[in-house]
Chains A and B, each alone.
Chain A
Amino acid sequence: MKRALPGFGLSLGFTLVYLSLLVLLPLSGLVFKSSALDLGQFWDIATGERALASYRVSFGASLLAAAINAFFGLIVAWVLVRYPFPGRRFVDSLVDLPFALPTAVAGITLATLYADTGWIGRQLEPLGLKVAFTPLGIVVALTFIGLPFVVRTLQPVIEDIEPEVEEAAATLGATRWQTFRRVLLPGIFPALLTGFTLAFSRAIGEYGSVIFIAGNMPLISEITPLLIISKLEQYDVIGATALACVMLFISFALLLAVNGLQWWAANRHHGKERTSL
C-alpha cells in the first residue's frame, strides 16, 4: 500500500544509520571493551566504595540541580514570556550564556565567587555555609549549566497558553493558585518534565565546571566522570570502561523512566481513541 507521506523508507534508513554511527557505535564499543572483564571483576570495580560514593554524588547532585532548575526555570520562563519589561531581550539572551560559556570558565568563576574569600562565599561563611569545594558546590555548578534547558523548553509552551483560559478560570471563581494548579500546570507539566530531563542528563555528563568547584575529595565530592578520568590517568582503561558502562546503564534507565512518565503526562488528557466529529 502506498503511504500518503512519501520518503518513509529513505528517511528511516538515514535516521538509523545516522544514529548508529553517532550514538550506538561508540556506545557499543564501550560495552564491548568492558566485556574483557569477567562478571566478578566488573562487579568489584562497579561497586567499589569510591565508585558507589561517586554515583551518589553524581546522580544526587544532578537530580537536585535539575529539580532546582525546574522550579526556578519555570519562574524565569514565565516572567520572560508573560511580562513585557525594559531589557527583556537582554535578560532573555542571558539565559543562553551557560550554553555558550566554556564549562571550565564557568567552574573557575563559580569557584572564585563561592570560595571563602569570594564575593558570595564571604557572605555565606558566617552562616556556616560552605559551598565551594563541597558537594553543595557541585549542585551550584550543575544548576548553572542546566538552567537554559528548562527555560528554553518551557518558553514556547507558555507562549501557547491562551490568556482567555486564565480569564475563564477567574470568572468561574478560581483563585490564582487554583488557576495555576488546575489549569496552567497540567498544560505545562510535560514540557517541564522534558526540561527537567534535559537538565538532568546534561548534569550527569558534566565534567568541566564541576571539577573546579567540587574539591574532588574521594568519597565526599568526587563525581563519577572524574573517577573515570583518574582511572584513565592510571592507565586503568578497563576499569574506566566498567564505570562508564554503569553510568550509561543508570542514565539510560532513568531517561527511559522519565520518558515514560512524559508520555503518560502528555497522553492522559486525550482520551483513548481520537475521533474527529
Chain B
Amino acid sequence: MSIEIHGVGKRFGSFVALDDVNLHIPTGELVALLGPSGCGKTTLLRIIAGMETADAGHISLAGEEATQLHARERKVGFVFQHYALFRHMSVFENVAFGLRVKPRRERPSPAEIHRRVMSLLKLVQLDWLAERYPSQLSGGQRQRIALARALAVEPRVLLLDEPFGALDAKVRKELRRWLRRLHDEMHVSSVFVTHDQEEALEVADRVVVMNRGRIEQIGTPDEVYSNPVSPFVYRFLGDVNVFHSRLHGAWADVSREPPEADEATQPPSGDRGRALAFVRPHDIHIESAPIAGGIEATVQDLHTIGPLVRVELAHASELVEVELTRERADALHLQKGQRAWLKPRQVKVFQVAEEALEEGGSGI
C-alpha cells in the first residue's frame, strides 16, 4: 500500500514540528525516517497513523484520501517504542485484541482467532509464551509481541516509532535484521522512525533524513551516506571531519583536484559565506613519511575500537580524526606525539552561511 504525504505541516504552539513535508512511499518499501530528536520524524509518523492531525496538507493511503480518517479506520499497524502492551492481558489476548474488537459480522470465529493468533506468535517465534503476561517478558520479547499484535489486523501499512530504541545493543541488532526479513515476508509498506543512523542504513530500502521539520534528503542508504546533499546530512550520517576554509585552502592547495569538490572549492572572501570541507575519518589516507600533497600533523591520541583504530591528530589548531584498520595502524607503528602526513581520498565542499555552522549534528 503506498503512502502519499502532500504539503503536511504541524505546529505545537510556536514550535514548528513539520513544515511543508512531501513524501511518497511506494508499496512494499521499508522506509526509515531518520533525524535528531525534535526533527519532526515521530510527529510525521503519528500523522500518518492518524494519532495526530496535520494543520495543513493531505495524507493518502493506497491512493485514498485519508487525512480525515480516524486512527481506527486507517488500517495501519503501529508499534511503539515502549511497546504499549496491555498489561492485564496475556500475550495471547494482546495479539487477539485487534480481532476481538472487530464488529460482530467481521469478527472471526473463536477457533479462527485462535488459529491466527497462534500463527502470528509462531511468526515472531514466541508461541511458547502465549499464556504469559507482558510483565514476565524481556524487552525484545515484548517488542515482538507488540509487532505480532499490530500485524494481527492485517494492516496495509506498518508504522514503527523507534521500535528498538529501548533495547540493548545486541538485541537491537538482532531484531532489526529480523524485522527486515519479516517485512519482506509480509508484503506491507513499513515506515520506521529512528535516530540511529546505523539502523537506518542497515535495514531500510530508502532513508528519509529529516531536520527541523523538513526533509533534508531522500535516497537509498548508499546515496545518503556517500552523497549527502547538505552539511547536516553529512554530519548526521556518521563521523566527519569539518575543515574551515583556512585548512581547507591548504588541502585544496595540496590535493590539487579534490574528488567531489564543486564550484565552491575556492575559499570565498568576505564574511557572508564560507566553504566547508567535509571528510569522513575513514576517507583520510595516513602515512608516517611525507607524501606528495599531504599535510603534516601530530598524533595526539590513539583509540582501538575492536577492529578499528581511531587516531586524533592536530594540524595547527585543528583536530583531525582518522580511522584505519588495525593492521594498517600496526604497520605504521603510530605513537602519540609522532608526526604523520594526511591526504584525503574524498572531500565534499559545501558553501555555507555562517549561522549554519553551529547547527546540530556530530562532527568535530
Which chain A residues have a beta carbon within 8 Å of chain B's beta carbons? 162, 164-165, 167-175, 178, 182-183, 186-187, 269-271, 274-277
Contact = CB atoms under 8 A, between A and B. Distances in A.
Contacts, number: 87
Given A165-B84, A182-B97, A277-B141, A170 B133 contact: no
A168 B78 contact: yes
A270 B77 CA distance: 26
Contacts of A165: 84, 86
Contacts of B149: 168, 172
A269 B133 contact: yes
Interface string B168-197: 000000000000000000000000000000
Given A162-B82, A187-B88, A270 B135 contact: yes
Contacts of B71: 167, 170-171
Contacts of A182: 86, 97, 100-101
A277 B153 contact: no
Contacts of A269: 87-89, 133
B240 interface: no
Interface in B127-156: 131-133, 135-138, 141, 146, 149-150, 152-153
B89 A164 contact: no
Interface in B36-90: 49-51, 70-72, 74-78, 80, 82, 84-90
Contacts of A167: 49, 51, 71, 78, 80, 84
A164 B82 contact: yes
Interface residues of B, number: 38
Given A165-B84, A168-B84, A173 B102 contact: yes
Given A168-B78, A182-B101, 7 more contacts: A162-B82, A167-B71, A171-B76, A173-B75, A174-B101, A187-B88, A269-B87
B87 A173 contact: no
A277 B128 CA distance: 14
Contacts of B150: 171-172
Given A164-B84, A186-B88, A187-B87, A171 B136 contact: no
Contacts of A173: 72, 75, 98, 101-102, 153
A167 B51 CA distance: 7
Nearest to A165: B84
A149 B49 CA distance: 39
B133 A270 contact: yes
Contacts of B76: 171
A274 B138 CA distance: 13
Contacts of A183: 86
27 contacts: A162-B82, A164-B82, A165-B84, A167-B49, A167-B71, A167-B84, A168-B78, A168-B80, A168-B86, A168-B149, A169-B86, A169-B97, A169-B101, A171-B76, A172-B97, A172-B101, A172-B149, A173-B75, A174-B97, A174-B98, A183-B86, A187-B88, A269-B87, A269-B88, A270-B133, A271-B131, A271-B132
Interface of B: 49-51, 70-72, 74-78, 80, 82, 84-90, 97-98, 100-102, 131-133, 135-138, 141, 146, 149-150, 152-153
B72 A174 contact: yes
A165 B82 CA distance: 10
Contacts of B80: 164, 167-168
**Across chains A and B, which 8 residue pairs bring their CB atoms closest together, nearest first?**
A172-B98, A164-B84, A269-B88, A174-B101, A171-B78, A168-B84, A170-B71, A186-B88
Nearest to B132: A271
A271 B89 CA distance: 10
B72 A175 contact: yes
Contact of A171 (B49, B86, B87, B132): B49
A40 B301 CA distance: 96
B6 to A, nearest CB: 22
A236 B132 CA distance: 60
B101 A171 contact: no
Given A167-B84, A175-B101, A275 B136 contact: yes
Contacts of A187: 87-88
Nearest to A265: B88
Contacts of A174: 72, 97-98, 101
Nearest to B89: A269
A170 B86 contact: no
The winner among A171, A178, A187 for most chain B CB atoms within 10 A is: A171
Given A165-B84, A171-B76, A183-B86, A271 B98 contact: no
A4 B120 CA distance: 42
A276 B132 CA distance: 11
Nearest to B74: A171
A169 B50 CA distance: 13
A118 to B, nearest CB: 45
Nearest to B137: A277
A168 B136 CA distance: 20
Contact of B136 (A169, A175, A178, A276): A276
Contacts of B84: 162, 164-165, 167-168
